[in-house]
Structure 1
Amino acid sequence: MLPDEPARPQSEGTAELPGCYRHPERETGVGCSRCGRPICPDCMVSASVGFHCPECVRGEAAEHRPARTRFGGLPTADGALVTKVLIGLNLLVFLVTEYLSPKWGVRLAMLSGTSFGGVPVRYGVAQGPEEWYRLFTAVFVHSGPFHILMNMISLWVLGPQLERVLGRGRYLALYLLSGLAGNAFAYLVTGGNVFSVGASGAIFGLLGATAVLFRVTRTPLGPVIALLVFNLVITFSVSAIDWRAHVGGLVAGAVTGAGLMYAPRGRRNLVQGLTLAGVLAVVVLMVVVESALLGA
């Protein structure tokens, strides 16, 4: 080009390309289809339309939270898995304690202190924390085929519905806390001489939670009230039945169910967690108070 010749303008194809927003030294002609920032091949994430940058992908993933049941649980393909496992555990313990090694029935049962000749004797739960495990293990021990048959039928009728709406973790917590509360209340009321076994306290807890569920979902309460009244009549009519465990489990199940189902969506986890912790604290308090009284 001669010195006096005018400079020729550069064509658009030779214009300088922007640098990647994460790697400025790399020129690129591709931008994020969401935010428009330039991205190099190493930063491109394929999308249904164009490419996205890593930040937009992370933000999109955070927006898409996993589906939840009405009361905060994770939906599952098998809505009765925990119920089936609980039934299996009850049957396994029954087989061991009834046929294979009956002595384990006494080791796992809910026993407390008693008195011989006016002299207080402490054993079982009354012996202290080292045998508080009986409050839990007694839930899986049954006194005979008819006892476990009725409890497992009730568990199968009541359990799956609650498991599906609460989710596995919350449902399991409801079941175990109801059983623990029933045994703890029996210990608190009877104290010096109690022998109690069976999942009935937990079953009554599920019944109480079912009543709360029907109330929340505005389902007619007639059937569940009729079932509850029928069971309470049997509870107080048969002397061999521990009504204390039934009543304790029923109250604990209703209170726990209310805390789980009426928790506001914005603070659901906090309210539900405090409910479970509160019921457990009451269980421990009942056991500590009665143990202290028996030891006095």
Structure 2
Amino acid sequence: MHRPAGRRGDPMEQAQLPDCYRHPGKETGVRCTRCERPICSACMVDAAVGFQCPECVRGGSGTGHSPTANQPRTIAGGRITAGHPHLVTHVLIGANLLVFLFGLLNPLFLDETMLIGLAFDPDLGRVVGVADGEWYRLVTSMFLHQEIWHIAGNMLLLWLLGGTLEAELGRARYVALYLLSGLAGSAFTYLIAAENQPSLGASGALYGLLGATVVLVRRLNQDLRPIMALVVLNLVITFAREGIAWEAHIGGLIAGVIIAYAMVNGPRERRALLQGSACALVLGLTLVTVVLRTVALS
């Protein structure tokens, strides 16, 4: 996923590929990850993510931009950081595992932090839920798991998808995608599920990563079939098995697609505005959903 590939298809599709900006008449499906100009194999310079054109590698001489503005960037405009390329993904996996172990040692911890609309908890001896003012449950539930198979499956999916998305989007955008998708999944569950139905798990955030991966693969002109097969498989499991909070999956998936589309598409000069607007839109809809549901349950 780090290396953009040209489109595969009939000759008519091939004819629509752009020409290399340095070699007119030479078609290519690869673009510089910093300036996004089309570049042919003779102009490609290996970078941490994808390829860069010779001018960007030289620091932008002759482009009219400052050296700071031409620092290596991801396809989404994020800064390419040195060192551990999958640091955030490993931190997220570690956080989920630590919370899982803490929950095994402290059973009441799950009752105090899982997502629930409004209900009387006999273990805690009181009314609990988001509608009772415990809004933190929308976030804490994203890191909770009860069964070993549950956390094992979710962390495997995070490992498979997270590293590539982190490298392609940049750490800050990747964290925003993960957290906002998880929150959207929690909010949609809070809205649709029965008020006394508890739910927990990182699935909302992970379905956001699934949706984002579909958008990214399409943006890089790569084969969509493997990731679409994975999406379909997960959706089949979601609706075929009982006891799965499908609301979190769908909410996270929709949020991930919206955020990722804004992050990897649009004109470069307006990219930051588009990305910020998409994140604000998802967060705003999430908050409105939570407030409306809370009012309805009050």
Both structures adopt the same fold (TM-score exceeding 0.5): yes
Counting only pairs closer than 5 Å after superposition, residues 1-296 of structure 1 correspond to structure 2 as 65-76=70-81, 77-98=83-104, 100-114=105-119, 123-128=128-133, 131-295=134-298
> Cα deviations across residues 182-203 of structure 1 (Å, max 9, x unaligned)?
0100110125222110101111
> Cα deviations across residues 63-107 of structure 1 (Å, max 9, x unaligned)?
664221111111123221000000000000001011x21211111
> Cα deviations across residues 127-152 of structure 1 (Å, max 9, x unaligned)?
13xx1111111000001111000000
* Residues 191 and 294, structure 1, Cα contact 8 Å, conserved in 2: no
Equivalent AA in structure 2 for residue 133 of structure 1: Y
Q: 1:190 to 1:263 in 2, by over 3 A?
A: same
Structure 1 distance, partners of 2:120, 2:284, is 28
Q: How many aligned positions are there?
A: 230
* Residues 110 and 197, structure 1, Cα contact 8 Å, conserved in 2: yes
Which segments of 5 or more consecutive residues in structure 2 lack a partner in the other structure? 1-63
Q: 1:63 to 1:133 in 2, by over 3 A?
A: closer
Structure 1 distance, partners of 2:127, 2:190, is 13
Percent same amino acid among aligned pairs? 48
- Offset, 1:222: 0.5
Runs of 4+ in 1 over 4 A off after TM superposition: 59-64
> Cα deviations across residues 200-249 of structure 1 (Å, max 9, x unaligned)?
11111000000000111111110111111111010001111111111111
Structure 1 distance, partners of 2:132, 2:262, is 33
Match of 2:85, SS state, is coil
Which segments of 5 or more consecutive residues in structure 1 lack a partner in the other structure? 1-58
Equivalent AA in structure 1 for residue 112 of structure 2: R
Structure 2 distance, partners of 1:267, 1:64, is 15
* Residues 142 and 198, structure 1, Cα contact 8 Å, conserved in 2: yes
TM-score, normalisation: structure 2: 0.73
- Offset, 1:267: 1.1
* Residues 142 and 200, structure 2, Cα contact 8 Å, conserved in 1: yes
* Residues 177 and 252, structure 1, Cα contact 8 Å, conserved in 2: yes
Structure 2 distance, partners of 1:181, 1:214, is 23
Structure 2 distance, partners of 1:112, 1:243, is 16
